[in-house]
Amino acid sequence: MSTLEKLFSLEGKTVVVTGGAQGIGKVVATKMAEVGADIVIFDLQEEKAKEAAKEIHESTGKRTAAYGLDVTNPAQVKEMIAKADEDMQGLDLLFNNAGIVIQKSAYDVTPEEWTKVINVNLNGEYYVAAEFARYLKGKGKKGAICNTASMSGHIVNWPQEQASYNASKAGVIQMTKSLAVEYCKDGIRVNCISPGYMYTDLTCHVNPEWQERWMDMTPYGRYGQPEELCGAVIYLLSDSASFTSGTDLVIDGCFTAV
């Protein structure tokens, strides 16, 4: 193994990926398996999660498992982490990636819609991160967590109106910093990534006029690809980031720089 491979190897580690059945989660999970990790997928879409896990196993040869999970249910989060631990003989790292968006004016969004977004994006990420940290501490293990925030936690997206999403992702950034400070004494690192406009199955169907405006506002003039997030997540979860915690890594093609 070369020095470069050693720097970013996840060999011997088992990574839990929430929201790993499709999109960014699946792409990053696949790449982490390619650099040595065994993969556990948690997703509300259980069958789709199992299909993704099977594909990753077949393409990389790494051990995989998949479970249905509602991240807004703390009791279920605890149960599934315990089950995955038993099935995989231990867990080491977490890519905390489940999330949703509702694009609706603050004049019109209902309390139920607001609560749904906050519950998944902020509360759900907290429930999973906190339970995973409790698991690590209980096992006497060091580990790392990478949460998924968004550039929307730094700026207000336009022309789409999505106050609930923006607020939830700003909360994830501050939560990440807070947990990083609390957990450092136990050897548990916590960081997050803040992607910009990424080309996924969801964004490619958005209003074309919005897409054109987004690209005009992005200095790189294009979408990011999910594959362009993999290196950041792998770094933040790898031993190369042993002194990196409480960091939000913005990956947005300079959108927030101008």
Total-model pTM: 0.96
Task: Give 208: exposed, middle or buried? Use CB within 10 Å, 0-12, 13-18, 19+.
Answer: exposed
Please say if 220 is a catalytic residue: no
Please provide residue 115's backbone torsions phi and psi, each rounded to the nearest 5 degrees. -65, -35
For 3-249, CATH number out of 3.30.420.40, 3.10.105.10, 3.40.50.720, 2.40.30.20 equals 3.40.50.720
At 204, the pLDDT band (50, 70, 90 cuts) reads: confident
Instruction: Report, as an integer, the average pLDDT of 71-89.
Output: 99
In the chain, domain spans: 3-249
Answer for the pair 25, 95: CB distance below 8 angstroms, yes or no: yes
Please say if 169 is a catalytic residue: yes
**Active-site choice (67, 126, 165, 183):** 165
pLDDT of residue 30: 99
**Active-site choice (169, 194, 223, 238):** 169
90-140 pLDDT tens trace: 999 999 999 999 999 999 999 999 999 999 999 999 999 999 999 999 999
pLDDT of residue 6: 84
SS3 59: helix
At 3, the pLDDT band (50, 70, 90 cuts) reads: confident
User: Which of 4-13, 45-54, 144-153 has the lowest average pLDDT?
Assistant: 4-13
Percent of the chain with pLDDT over 70: 100
158-189 pLDDT tens trace: 999 999 999 999 999 999 999 999 999 999 99
Tokens of 14: 């088992």
How far is the C-alpha of 25 from the C-alpha of 70, rounded, in Å? 15
Please say if 235 is a catalytic residue: no
* Closest among 156, 193, 172 to 119, alpha carbons compared: 172
pLDDT of residue 257: 97
pLDDT of residue 119: 98
First and final CA of the chain: distance in angstroms?
40
**Active-site choice (13, 135, 150, 168):** 150
